[in-house]
């Protein structure tokens, strides 16, 4: 007569695969996230430099305008100010895209984990037609 066992034997881990089309989609999503992160960093650096330059131009223009009391700077100042506001709005949009993209890795990795997809696997090349 066999004795019942009280301990459960650990089950073998489910092998992971490249995931086929779902795995390919996951890897592409992660690649997009990486590109958005890199672009966001580059854009924010460029925006900061440009905002500093525009602010400097505005300050120098007002200083010159005040000293010489010459007319004509108002239109340029308005355009510089308009550019600063537009740049700020673009920065907000980039931030929104970046924040949204930041959620992608967690969602993608959870999806891959549930379906036992190895995100580091390289899918086999498709046969030539």
Both structure tokens of 2? 């066999």
Q: What pTM did the predictor assign?
A: 0.63
User: Is residue 119 included in any domain, yes or no?
Assistant: no
Q: Going by C-beta distance under 8 Å and a sequence separation of 6 or more, which residues neighbour residue 18?
A: 24, 117, 118, 121, 122, 123, 124
pLDDT in tens, 50-74: 889 888 888 887 777 666 656 666 7
User: Is residue 75 included in any domain, yes or no?
Assistant: yes
User: Is residue 69 included in any domain, yes or no?
Assistant: yes
Environment class of 30 (CB within 10 Å of its CB; exposed 0-12, middle 13-18, buried 19+): middle
pLDDT in tens, 85-128: 888 898 899 999 999 999 999 999 999 999 998 988 876 665 55
- For 60, the domain range is 20-114
Overall number of domains in the chain: 1
User: Is residue 72 included in any domain, yes or no?
Assistant: yes
Neighbours of 112 (CB within 10 A): 21
pLDDT in tens, 9-47: 556 666 677 788 888 999 999 999 999 999 999 998 998
User: Is residue 78 included in any domain, yes or no?
Assistant: yes
């Amino acid at each position: 007569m066999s004795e019942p066992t009280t301990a459960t034997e650990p089950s073998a881990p489910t092998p992971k695969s490249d995931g086929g089309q779902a795995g390919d989609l996951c890897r592409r999503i992660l690649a997009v996230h990486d590109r958005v992160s890199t672009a966001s960093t580059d854009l924010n650096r460029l925006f900061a430099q440009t905002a500093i330059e525009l602010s400097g131009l505005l300050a120098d223009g007002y200083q010159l305008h005040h000293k010489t009391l010459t007319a004509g700077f108002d239109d340029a100042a308005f355009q510089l100010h308009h550019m600063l506001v537009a740049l700020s709005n673009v920065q907000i949009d980039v931030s929104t895209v970046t924040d949204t993209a930041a959620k992608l890795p967690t969602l993608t990795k959870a999806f891959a984990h549930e379906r036992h997809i190895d995100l580091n696997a390289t899918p086999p090349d498709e046969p030539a037609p």
